[in-house]
């Protein structure tokens, strides 16, 4: 049986991937899933030792330093996990003739483009987090092994901490929510990512892991954070009586400008990513963002 080494299983994408791979590929792939205790990405020697012990055919690396604002004051740690570690994983994968699927972000772009970004567009991160993720992409490219770098955006799901969970919590506590309305992108569910990546594992491996490169992988469509929050509240209301969820306190979701919600890290105003390359190369498509949200909402527990 072929072996996958999966990192970051306590994270949103790692957790969803562990479930989806077990559901769909258990007959072909053994998945060795690691959290930070089993595989500490701040320790290059430790990474090398663990990868050699497991000897995978494919490494999937959703683990990352994802605290975008905190990264502005924790540059070294962000770079150790997001830039150095992916390069070490790539070197070790190359040694084993294995492939690497790695995740990156819309934050490698500065957001000044007026339409959806394509993979060949100029990158220009405006935050330490974005720069550290870009450095990770470059470290992988330099090793020159079979790889897919999947740039995704605005990740949320029923597991872990994310915008969806925060909005539901705040909507239970407050009558008014003020949400940024001048940043556009595609909210992308961890479940949709996991389903698409599981398809990619099969298709890419069948093609002898050619077609290395960067691909955008996001739910289709676009919305602002304000629009996303409004839809979360609307879908909650549609489900609350059926599911017996507690009533929300919120009466209004109000649009505000980024300037009214200052954060330590700058964020791109335009995070729209075209997925045409992923679709044309591998025939993989992801559902529209509000449909993906609906699927996640249907799985939310009352306690969420
Ligand atoms: N979240 C987003 O909105 C977003 C947007 C665009 C791109 N992405 C990218 O998508 C990928 C998946 O993101 P996600 O939302 O699933 O992230 P997440 O929920 O924050 O999970 C990150 C994972 O990385 C692990 N990790 C952190 N430091 C580590 C270390 N030193 N050693 C080993 N593991 C470590 C975490 O472990 P602990 O639980 O122990 O901390 C956690 O399992 C990442 O590459 C991220 O950069 C995310």
pLDDT of residue 303: 54
Q: Which atom of ligand 1 is nearest to the CA of 80?
A: 31
The protein residue with its alpha carbon nearest to ligand 1, atom 42, reads 11
Which of 60, 10, 13, 34 minimizes the C-alpha distance to 157? 13
For residue 34, being part of any structural domain is answered with yes
* pLDDT for residue 302 is more than 80: no
CA 61–ligand 1 middle distance (angstroms):
9
For residue 104, being part of any structural domain is answered with yes
Backbone angle region of 283, left / alpha / beta, with phi > 0 → left and psi within -120 to 50 → alpha: left
Instruction: Determine the structural domain holding residue 205 and report its residue range.
Output: 2-161+188-219+271-286
For residue 246, being part of any structural domain is answered with no
Output the pTM of the full model.
0.97
Catalytic residues: 129
pLDDT of residue 299: 87
Q: What is the pLDDT of residues 73-89, one digit of tens each?
A: 999 999 999 999 999 99
Q: Which of these ranges, 27-36, 96-105, 192-201, 238-247, has the smallest mean pLDDT?
A: 238-247
Identify the CATH number of the domain in which residue 276 sits. 3.40.50.720
Q: Which atom of ligand 1 is nearest to the CA of 160?
A: 19
For residue 48, being part of any structural domain is answered with yes
pLDDT of residue 152: 98
* Cβ of 86 below 6 Å from ligand 1: no
Q: What is the pLDDT of residues 147-185, one digit of tens each?
A: 999 999 999 999 989 999 999 999 999 999 999 999 999
- CA dist., res. 211 & res. 224, Å (int): 32
> What is the tally of structural domains in the chain?
1
For residue 36, being part of any structural domain is answered with yes
pLDDT of residue 120: 98
pLDDT of residue 92: 98
* pLDDT for residue 206 is more than 90: no
pLDDT of residue 300: 86
- CA dist., res. 21 & res. 59, Å (int): 13
* Cβ of 20 below 6 Å from ligand 1: no
* pLDDT for residue 137 is more than 80: yes
For residue 298, being part of any structural domain is answered with no
CA 196–ligand 1 middle distance (angstroms):
18
Taking residues 15-24, what's their average pLDDT? 97
Q: Which of 5, 8, 131 to mutate to test the pocket of ligand 1 (most atoms within 8 A of CB)?
A: 8
Q: What is the pLDDT of residues 37-84, one digit of tens each?
A: 999 999 999 999 999 999 999 999 999 999 999 999 999 999 999 999
* pLDDT for residue 304 is more than 80: no
8 Å CB contact between 81 and 27 = no
Q: Which of 13, 47, 88 to mutate to test the pocket of ligand 1 (most atoms within 8 A of CB)?
A: 13
* Cβ of 155 below 6 Å from ligand 1: yes
For residue 183, being part of any structural domain is answered with no
For residue 224, being part of any structural domain is answered with no
Mean pLDDT, the chain, integer: 96
């Amino acid at each position: 049986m072929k072996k996958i080494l999966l990192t970051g299983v306590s994270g949103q994408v790692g957790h969803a991937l562990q479930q989806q791979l077990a559901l769909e590929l258990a007959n072909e792939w053994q998945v060795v899933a690691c959290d930070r205790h089993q595989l500490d990405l701040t320790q290059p020697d430790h990474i090398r030792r663990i990868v050699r012990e497991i000897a995978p055919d494919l490494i999937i690396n959703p683990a990352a330093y994802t605290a975008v604002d905190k990264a502005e004051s924790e540059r070294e740690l962000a770079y150790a996990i997001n830039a150095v570690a992916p390069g070490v994983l790539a070197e070790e994968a190359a040694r084993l003739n294995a492939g690497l699927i790695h995740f990156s972000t819309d934050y490698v772009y500065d957001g000044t483009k007026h339409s959806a970004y394509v993979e060949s567009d100029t990158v220009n991160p405006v935050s330490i987090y974005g720069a550290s993720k870009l450095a990770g992409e470059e470290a992988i490219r330099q090793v020159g092994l079979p790889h897919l770098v999947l740039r995704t955006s605005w990740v949320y799901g029923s597991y872990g901490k994310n915008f969806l969970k925060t909005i539901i919590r705040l909507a239970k506590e407050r009558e008014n929510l003020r949400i940024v309305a001048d940043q556009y992108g595609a909210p992308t569910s961890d479940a949709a990512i996991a389903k698409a990546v599981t398809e990619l594992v099969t298709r890419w491996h069948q093609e002898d892991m050619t077609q290395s490169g960067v691909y955008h992988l996001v739910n289709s469509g676009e919305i602002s954070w304000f629009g996303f929050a409004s839809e979360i509240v609307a879908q909650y209301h549609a489900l609350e009586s059926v599911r017996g969820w507690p009533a929300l306190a919120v009466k209004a979701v109000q649009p505000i400008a980024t300037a009214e919600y200052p954060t330590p890290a700058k964020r791109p105003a335009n995070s729209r990513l075209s997925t045409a390359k992923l679709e044309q190369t591998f025939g993989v498509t992801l559902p529209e963002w509000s449909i993906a949200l609906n699927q996640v909402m249907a799985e939310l527990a009352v306690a969420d």
